[in-house]
């Protein structure tokens, strides 16, 4: 029983991480229908920026965090401006392959600058943040993750429901042409959504780095694990990303705990194929109906 509970808690924690990693991905898809294969590399870039600022520049953690977020915001903006904008209206495969190419570029760049080693951040979360429920212990990192993901979920909810920019983004996601003709600055919306997505990605990269250490290969493979998560939750639902993340996290930890550790990494993809066959638009995704 205790084992089960510990697995449950671990699963939810890991799942939350997947959820917040997926949030940035969903953001981009929601506004510009681009599948971003470079998402894992964006996570890694954020984590490595933070690493350099904390260990090499010796900045205080809070300042480094803010600087990383700003840096990644600008980076996202630049990526959209120079790589994605020329492809507006192009075929799907070009857009997908462009992000794949970007992924290879970023990964090469990170490997060139920082190498493929495993780094760890200096300890900075206060141990008082750890939570103890009976026999179950939640490490400080995980409670911090929980807090961050709840905060961001609420913030994004408000942003999309209340702010003008958020409403523009939703309108563009819904129907690009109609939004354009009603005076929405579509290009600015795209740029903004990439910038915000990169920001969210860098944040989740930092959280992942705190937990697992910073390593390019691990972080970029998380970028691929985002796919089962978002398909399960629905490609264009941010809340769905969190719930999908939790479900995938639970599935992973339970198969890892009860069945076999090696199956752990494929189980999300097996589930993915099933979801795609049964309910392709996921739990909360928008269903597109086509008839001939």
| Interface ranges with another protein (CB under 8 A) | 33, 35, 83, 86-87, 90, 92-94, 96-98, 100-112, 115, 224, 227-228, 231, 262-263, 265-266, 269-270, 272-273, 276-277, 280, 290, 292
Q: Using CB atoms within 10 A of its CB, is residue 211 exposed (0-12), middle (13-18) or buried (19+)?
A: middle
The residue among 90 and 174 lying less far from another protein, judged by its C-beta, is 90
- What whole-number distance in Å separates Cα of residue 69 and Cα of residue 91? 32
Least distance (Å) between residue 12 CB and another protein: 24
The residue among 98 and 200 lying less far from another protein, judged by its C-beta, is 98
Least distance (Å) between residue 193 CB and another protein: 17
Q: What is the DSSP annotation of 236-282?
A: T-HHHHHHHHHHHHHHHHHIIIII-TTGGGTHHHHHHHHHHHH-TTT
- Which are the contacts of 86, defined by CB distance < 8 A and separation ≥ 6? none
Least distance (Å) between residue 247 CB and another protein: 16
The residue among 85 and 161 lying less far from another protein, judged by its C-beta, is 85
Least distance (Å) between residue 259 CB and another protein: 12
The residue among 198 and 210 lying less far from another protein, judged by its C-beta, is 198
The residue among 77 and 83 lying less far from another protein, judged by its C-beta, is 83
- What whole-number distance in Å separates Cα of residue 98 and Cα of residue 34? 10
The residue among 32 and 149 lying less far from another protein, judged by its C-beta, is 32
Least distance (Å) between residue 249 CB and another protein: 17
Least distance (Å) between residue 205 CB and another protein: 19
Least distance (Å) between residue 3 CB and another protein: 25
The residue among 106 and 152 lying less far from another protein, judged by its C-beta, is 106
């Amino acid at each position: 029983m205790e084992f089960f509970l510990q697995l449950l808690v671990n699963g939810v924690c890991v799942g939350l991480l997947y959820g917040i990693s997926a949030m940035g991905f969903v953001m981009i898809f929601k506004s510009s229908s681009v599948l971003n294969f470079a998402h894992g590399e964006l996570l890694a870039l954020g984590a490595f920026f933070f690493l350099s600022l904390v260990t090499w520049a010796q900045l205080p953690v809070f300042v480094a965090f803010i600087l990383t977020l700003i840096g990644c915001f600008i980076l996202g903006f630049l990526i959209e401006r120079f790589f994605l904008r020329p492809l507006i209206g192009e075929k799907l495969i070009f857009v997908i392959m462009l992000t794949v190419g970007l992924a290879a570029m970023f990964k090469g760049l990170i490997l060139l600058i920082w190498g493929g080693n495993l780094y760890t951040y200096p300890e900075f979360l206060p141990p008082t943040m750890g939570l103890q429920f009976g026999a179950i212990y939640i490490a400080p990192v995980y409670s911090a993750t929980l807090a961050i993901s709840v905060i961001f979920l609420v913030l994004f909810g408000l942003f999309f429901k209340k702010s003008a920019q958020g409403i523009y983004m939703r309108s563009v996601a819904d129907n690009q042409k109609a939004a354009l003709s009603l005076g929405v600055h579509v290009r600015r919306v795209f740029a903004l959504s990439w910038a915000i997505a990169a920001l969210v990605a860098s944040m989740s990269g930092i959280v992942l780095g705190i937990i697992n250490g910073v390593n390019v290969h691990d972080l970029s493979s998380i970028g691929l694990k985002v796919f089962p998560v978002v398909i399960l939750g629905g490609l264009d639902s941010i809340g769905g990303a969190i719930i999908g993340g939790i479900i995938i996290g639970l599935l992973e930890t339970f198969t890892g705990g009860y069945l076999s550790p090696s199956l752990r990494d494929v189980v999300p993809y097996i589930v993915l194929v099933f979801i795609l066959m049964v309910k392709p638009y996921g739990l909360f995704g928008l269903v597109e109906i086509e008839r001939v």
